[in-house]
């Protein structure tokens, strides 16, 4: 009886610490840029585009994210490591796209290519500075 109680108590402690760690990982409004290598930085796809005001949906059947942003539709295909937007195709190479903990992370280069500007993160919110604004 004591060993069952100890086992249950131990399991409860482990589960509570796991859920606390998971809750501490993601804070509302918090952004993060992950440095994968000296040349590659990854950002969370959904967070970036929702910060831009886009809607982001996931298609389980095709393993694709469908993004509606302004007048543009963007399809990010996780299996093919590619994206279609504005009649153009973008191919993710190497570590420039990853899925971890149910979230897709993509390269800053991809975001900046699609958005045609510089990705900026301030106080946990992503914005894009358009090339013409940056030139001023």
Please check whether residue 1 lies inside any domain of the structure. Answer: no
CATH number at residue 91: 3.30.457.10
Please check whether residue 49 lies inside any domain of the structure. Answer: yes
User: Total domain count for the chain?
Assistant: 1
In tens, the pLDDT along 8-25 reads 334 334 333 333 333 334
Mean pLDDT of 100-129: 93
| Mean per-residue pLDDT over the chain, rounded | 80
Please check whether residue 21 lies inside any domain of the structure. Answer: no
What is the reported pLDDT for 80?
Answer: 95
Instruction: Please state, as a whole number, how many other Cβ atoms lie within 10 Å of the Cβ of residue 126.
Output: 20
Please check whether residue 6 lies inside any domain of the structure. Answer: no
Domain interval for residue 89: 28-135
């Amino acid at each position: 009886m004591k060993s069952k109680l100890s086992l249950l108590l131990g399991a409860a402690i482990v589960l509570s610490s796991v859920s606390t760690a998971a809750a501490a990982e993601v804070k509302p409004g918090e952004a993060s840029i992950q440095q994968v290598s000296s040349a590659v930085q990854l950002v969370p796809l959904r967070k970036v585009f929702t910060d831009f005001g886009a809607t982001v949906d996931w298609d389980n059947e095709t393993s694709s994210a469908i993004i509606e942003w302004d007048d543009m539709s963007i399809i990010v295909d996780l299996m093919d490591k590619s994206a279609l937007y504005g009649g153009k195709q973008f191919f993710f190479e190497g570590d420039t796209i990853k899925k971890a903990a149910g979230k897709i992370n993509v390269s800053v280069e991809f975001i900046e290519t699609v958005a045609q500007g510089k990705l900026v993160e301030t106080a946990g919110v992503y914005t894009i500075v358009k090339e013409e604004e940056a030139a001023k």
